[in-house]
Amino acid sequence: AAGVIQSPRHLIKEKRETATLKCYPIPRHDTVYWYQQGPGQDPQFLISFYEKMQSDKGSIPDRFSAQQFSDYHSELNMSSLELGDSALYFCASSPGTGSSYNSPLHFGNGTRLTVT
């Protein structure tokens, strides 16, 4: 079965640079979530989109922005990168029409961002 695809798998950037992470949800999933997982930490919710509109916002820094496109893929744009942004960034998707018990999140394998 098709899964959530994230690219790139690994990314190395220097401080103050920008980075763009991409997420391709499971076909027919119209809701996308972004999570940040720091080293040894639990995943923290950043932001979500449903039908190309922002549906919820978590602890996403102002330096980050995201959007969902007409084909439902999503991109997380990160500017003025800081050392503390080094983390594993997960994207998850779900069909957004149901409630939690019908549509649990399906996670991608993540993008590991290292800021030097």
- Do 66 and 77 meet the contact criterion of CB atoms below 8 Å apart? yes
Q: Does 96 bind other proteins (CB under 8 A)?
A: yes
Q: Using the minimum distance from each CB to other proteins, give the nearer residue, 77 or 97.
A: 97
Place of tokens 């950037």: 13
Specify the DSSP element, H or E, that contains 44: strand 44-50
Q: Residue 16 Cβ, how far from other proteins at the closest point, in Å?
A: 27
Q: Residue 115 Cβ, how far from other proteins at the closest point, in Å?
A: 18
Residue 23's nearest CA partner among 82, 58, 71 is 71
Among 7, 20, 55, 86, binds other proteins (CB under 8 A): 55
Q: Using the minimum distance from each CB to other proteins, give the nearer residue, 17 or 38.
A: 38
Alpha-helix runs per DSSP H in the chain: none
Q: Residue 104 Cβ, how far from other proteins at the closest point, in Å?
A: 5
